[in-house]
Amino acid sequence: GAVVSQHPSWVICKSGTSVKIECRSLDFQATTMFWYRQFPKQSLMLMATSNEGSKATYEQGVEKDKFLINHASLTLSTLTVTSAHPEDSSFYICSARDAVRSSYEQYFGPGTRLTVT
């Protein structure tokens, strides 16, 4: 149980275009979802936290107009990178938390590798 999927697992896009990444909780309801960014050989940095039906809370330094997060249902959150540029190339990982199952534990998706050319 507690499986989180991400789609796509790998995407290449041209500079200036937008790309959407989906994060789904497959067997539980995710009251809260988190989006992280990981640069090569570095740690995970939290980008934003979203609760179902509410606006996302962005971490300091993260451009909310560039990284659009939508958490429209209890099983789906999306991250849209708008007008992507090469510096946005990174590994994006989502996680989900089920408040009923655990107040503390986050279940992580497999990640999405974004390459902007």
> Which residues here bind other proteins, judged by CB under 8 A?
4, 6, 32, 34, 41-46, 49, 91, 93, 95, 104-106, 108-111, 113
The rounded distance, in Å, linking the Cα atoms of 55 and 50 is: 6
Residue 38 CB, shortest distance to other proteins, in Å, is 9
Which CB sits closer to other proteins, 37 or 75? 37
Tell me the backbone φ, ψ of residue 60, rounded to 5 degrees.
-60, 135
Residue 91 CB, shortest distance to other proteins, in Å, is 8
The rounded distance, in Å, linking the Cα atoms of 19 and 13 is: 7
